[in-house]
A and B are shown apart, each in its own frame.
Chain A
């Protein structure tokens, strides 16, 4: 039973560029959430997708956008990259609707470095 998988594992970009990160949820899971984790900090909630729609959003600018596909996989897009966007980006999936109170399962993340 495959868990949450994320790609790529590492990525280096320069300021002003755009990046796309990908996530495949755990088998059977249909809600996907994205988090940003800066070094030494706890994860910060970016947004959550269910039924191909953004359902909740944290305090992140519009440069951060996402998408969920019919197979429940998801992408996180970040435009006009800033040095402060350097972080570990984590994807989490859970079973059922966003309000089903099920535990979240996390992938190993994508380490994004901005030069």
Chain B
């Protein structure tokens, strides 16, 4: 069974700082990995999708990398802003079309 772990569980940084969120998974046989943000009481907003053949994806101030062999992905957020405060979740899609989510990292950006 695939297990997805996100560290740290919570993170608080001052505005303007660059930060890295981590996601690890136990089974490297994945189709893709997707990063989401979730605001309190809301659904998930897709941020980046990395296919298993890719190493990284970029969108604006966000950069996600994938190292399948080591079972790791990172989400890099540049020049953090208070509006980035949310919970960030990673999800892996593996063979058999099963989806597995981590428990998330709760990010607070302090003005």
| Cβ–Cβ contact A45 & B99, under 8 A | yes
How many chain B residues touch A (CB < 8 A): the figure is 25
| Cβ–Cβ contact B102 & A42, under 8 A | yes
| Cβ–Cβ contact B49 & A56, under 8 A | no
Count A/B pairs, Cβ under 8 Å: 57
Chain B residues with Cβ below 8 Å from A88 are 41
Q: Which A residue's beta carbon lies closest to that of B6? A: A42
Choose, from B30-38, B63-71, B73-81, the stretch at the interface: B30-38
CB of B51 within 8 Å of the partner chain = yes
Chain B residues with Cβ below 8 Å from A111 are 41
Chain B residues with Cβ below 8 Å from A90 are 43-44
Chain B residues with Cβ below 8 Å from A105 are 46
| Cβ–Cβ contact B44 & A106, under 8 A | yes
Task: Name which of A41, A44, A55, A103 has the most chain B CB atoms within 10 A of its CB.
Answer: A103
| Cβ–Cβ contact B100 & A45, under 8 A | yes
| Cβ–Cβ contact B98 & A56, under 8 A | yes
Task: Name which of A6, A45, A48 has the most chain B CB atoms within 10 A of its CB.
Answer: A45
Asked, given contacts A40-B103, A42-B4, A111-B41, whether A103 binds B46 with beta carbons under 8 Å apart, the answer is yes
| Residues of B that sit less than 8 Å from A by CB | 4, 31-32, 34, 36, 41-46, 49, 51, 89, 91, 93, 96-104
Closest 6 A/B residue pairs (Cβ)? A42-B101, A106-B44, A108-B43, A106-B43, A103-B49, A45-B99
